[in-house]
Amino acid sequence: MTAILRRRRRKILAALVLFVIIGAALAYSQLSPIGGLMPEAIAALRSDDIVHVNRERWIVFAPNTAEVASGFIFYPGGRVPPEAYAPLARAIAENGHLAVIVPMPLNLAIFNPNAANEVIAAYPGSKTWVIGGHSLGGVMAARYAFNHGEKIDGLALLAAYAETHVDLSRSDLRVTTIYGDQDGLVAVADVARSLDQLPSDVYAVQIEGGNHAQFGWYGEQSGDLPARISRDEQNAQVVAAVLRIMQEAGS
- Confidence band of 68 (pLDDT split at 50, 70, 90): confident
* pLDDT digits 0-9 by tens, 72-117: 999 999 999 999 999 999 999 999 999 999 999 999 999 999 999 9
DSSP 92: H
Q: How far is CA 229 from the centre of its chain?
A: 22
DSSP 45: T
Question: Rounded CA gap, 180 and 235, in Å?
Answer: 11
pLDDT above 90 for 17:
no
Q: Does 3.40.50.1820 match the CATH number of domain 34-250? A: yes
Question: Rounded CA gap, 145 and 171, in Å?
Answer: 10
Name which residue leads in pLDDT, 151 or 11. Answer: 151
Residue 77 CB burial class (10 angstroms; 0-12, 13-18, ≥19): buried
Name which residue leads in pLDDT, 66 or 51. Answer: 51
Mean pLDDT in residue range 33-43: 85
3-class DSSP assignment, residue 245 = helix
Question: Rounded CA gap, 157 and 139, in Å?
Answer: 8
CB atoms within 10 A of CB 184: 15
DSSP-derived secondary structure for 149-209:
TTT-SEEEEES----TT---TTS--EEEEEEETT-SSS-HHHHHHHGGGS-TT-EEEEETT
* pLDDT digits 0-9 by tens, 39-55: 999 999 999 999 999 99
Domain limits of the chain? 1-30, 34-250
Nearest to 98 by CA among 88, 106, 89: 89
Predicted confidence at residue 65, as pLDDT, reads: 83
Mean confidence (pLDDT) of the chain: 90
pLDDT above 90 for 212:
yes
Question: Rounded CA gap, 132 and 145, in Å?
Answer: 9
Question: Rounded CA gap, 204 and 13, in Å?
Answer: 45
pTM of the predicted structure, to 2 decimals = 0.87
Predicted confidence at residue 251, as pLDDT, reads: 82
* pLDDT digits 0-9 by tens, 162-206: 999 999 999 999 999 999 999 999 999 999 999 999 999 999 999
